[in-house]
Amino acid sequence: MPRTFDNLSPGTRLLPALQGAPAAQMETRNPGMPLDLEAVRQGRVNRTAADRRAATLAATRVGHPDRLLHAVTMIDLTTLSDDDTEGRVRRLCDRALRPLRGELLVALGAEGMAVTAAAVCVYHRFVPTALAALGGRLPVATVSAGFPAGLSPLATRVAEIEASVKAGADEIDLVIVRGLALEGRWEALYDEITAFRGACEDRCMKVILGVGELGTLDNVRRAATVAMMAGADFVKTSTGKEKVKATLSAGLAMAAAIRNYHRETGHRVGLKAAGGIATAREALSWLALVQEELGEAWMHPGLFRIGASSLLADIEHQLERAP
């Protein structure tokens, strides 16, 4: 059975910002809904206002250590390199379980806190390696559906997802065909993601939009809306392979879509920021975006993730400098 989204052990002292995020809420699934083309087409974003707001968020300061510790618990620790090996994946899993040095946690007064990454994300080939290394203590995510371009035949992409589910992956991060969004072919996009939803079975489905390749923020918001209508549990910014990856402006467009979907359906969908997020300040900017645009209900790994490979090093550096 797939692991719960909640990686905090019962009885463990929680980070203050994580208190009040009930496990049941973390396990709530988005059932999707019939495609509403009118609602999709009404999704618009004021680019000037979004960029101005993004600039304010980007100026977020590295604040209290608890905020940085909170950010660590949101990370999908990721390796998606062409030269990945089983040894690298095992080392990644060990880092996910113990992302910060024990003496640093003691110095911060956080030795009793459940400070682990949220999940580990690897290529399909390494799912068994990650499962064995983690032993059920954290979820294993894998990329799928023709990652990173999504241009292989639909049957092939569906079969990839089914194979990852069979291999035991808890979470599937899959890509859309960006051309469908660029051409406004929302019915075709909805049908493909619906097929992916069926292939994912009961696994967490994160739909990667590839925001840097969607042309406009309107397209970002509309693609996110279609993905949620098709049953996405998370909408995700980037594969990490695009020239333009996770941007705060695109995150604001996605947050607007998530907020509207929740208002209309009552279902909460998660946001995953991924692609080029490598500094503590960038991570905290995304935390601020989610907290201010979506609210406290999203401030836990069941509804917010940061996909990253090198972010931990800078967070650890900042924590070492904390007073």
Which residues carry out catalysis?
A: 173, 236, 272
Cβ neighbours for 44, distance < 8 A, ≥ 6 positions apart: 218, 221
List C-alpha distances in Å: 170 to 76, 134, 229, 270: 12, 12, 21, 16
What is the Cα–Cα distance from 215 to 127, expressed in whole angstroms? 33
Handedness of CA 20, 21, 24, 25 (dihedral sign): positive
CA atoms within 13 A on the CB side of 308: 28
Q: What is the C-alpha to C-alpha distance for residues 140 and 144, in angstroms, rounded to an integer?
A: 13
Bridge partner residues of 121 (DSSP): 78, 141
- Here the tokens at position 306 are 């940061």
Tokens of 271: 């946001």
Q: In the structure encoding, which two tokens stand for residue 59, read together?
A: 């100026």
DSSP 7: -
